[in-house]
């Protein structure tokens, strides 16, 4: 048996694909998926597609093949089909590289979160945020007027952070909202309201570190789409506390 494992840190889906090979064909395949219904459906369909295939044939299965077999997926869920194909390919690579018989320990609840319905873990810590807490880094916004004319970066923590971003536009014209996910396609997503506002929105990005001598000067940002880093100059960083903290 060989195991493939892939995960998406943005949406939180995590997939394991287990294969048994006989005469260079997939004799048996099973999956274990932590994620939304689409993630589970794509995992299941992938196992049905490739059972009995040669390893070379299975390596050619793409996200499009998986989505087509399911008669299409919503655009926002297409990444699930990509993960399923990647997990399959990773399992085949494990087999070919001789990494067999390895059974990974399933993640603990909350260890690998999901915006698709699985409990979400706390976001990664932002380097330097604790040092500059109260010196440009804020866990809550008690007086929006104190941000007047400042360059404010607000990190996506759901609807409360969206509400704060919109409220701050009454006091400053330089509000930036940053989210690790892609631009929402659903009108029910609270972030859609940002499109009709003066808020500048940056999708598929996350803060790595906050920098400054005694006060916030800039935030180092990881561009998740380009896998690159850049510095964003701001006067304030708002990172709301997670519910329950």
Residue among 161, 197, 166 at smallest CA distance from 178: 161
Does residue 36 have an active-site annotation?
Answer: no
Active-site annotation holder among 15, 61, 80, 237: 80
Tokens 């909350």 appear where? Answer: 110
Give backbone dihedrals phi and psi of 133, rounded to 5 degrees, phi first.
-60, 125
**CB contact set of 67 (below 8 Å; sequence gap of 6+):** 42, 73, 78, 81
* Cα angle for residues 57, 11, 89 (degrees, 5° grid): 15
Beta strands in the chain (DSSP E): 2-7, 14-22, 25-34, 137-138, 152-155, 175-179, 200-203, 205-211, 218-223, 228-233, 236-238
SS3 122: coil
Active-site annotation holder among 11, 141, 168, 175: 11
Active site amino acids: 11, 80
């Amino acid at each position: 048996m060989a195991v493939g494992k892939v995960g998406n840190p943005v949406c939180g889906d995590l997939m394991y694909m287990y294969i048994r090979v006989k005469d260079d064909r997939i004799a048996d395949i099973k999956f274990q998926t932590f994620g939304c219904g689409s993630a589970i459906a794509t995992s299941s369909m992938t196992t049905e597609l490739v059972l009995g295939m040669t390893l070379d044939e299975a390596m050619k299965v793409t996200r499009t093949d998986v989505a087509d077999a399911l008669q299409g997926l919503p655009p926002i869920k297409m990444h699930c089909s990509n993960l399923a194909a990647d997990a399959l390919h990773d399992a085949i690579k494990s087999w070919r590289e001789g990494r067999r018989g390895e059974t990974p320990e399933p993640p603990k609840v909350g260890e690998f979160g999901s915006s698709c319905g699985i409990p979400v873990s706390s976001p990664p810590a932002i380097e330097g945020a604790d040092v500059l807490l109260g010196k440009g880094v804020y866990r809550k916004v008690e007086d929006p007027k104190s941000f007047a004319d400042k360059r404010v970066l607000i990190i996506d923590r759901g609807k409360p952070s969206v509400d704060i971003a919109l409220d701050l536009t009454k006091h400053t014209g330089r509000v930036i909202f940053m989210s690790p996910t892609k631009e929402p396609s659903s009108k029910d997503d609270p972030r859609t309201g940002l499109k009709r506002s003066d808020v500048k929105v940056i999708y598929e990005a996350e803060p790595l570190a906050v920098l400054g001598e005694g006060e916030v000067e800039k935030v180092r940002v990881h561009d998740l789409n380009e896998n690159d880093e850049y510095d964003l100059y701001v006067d304030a960083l708002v990172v709301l506390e997670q519910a329950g903290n």
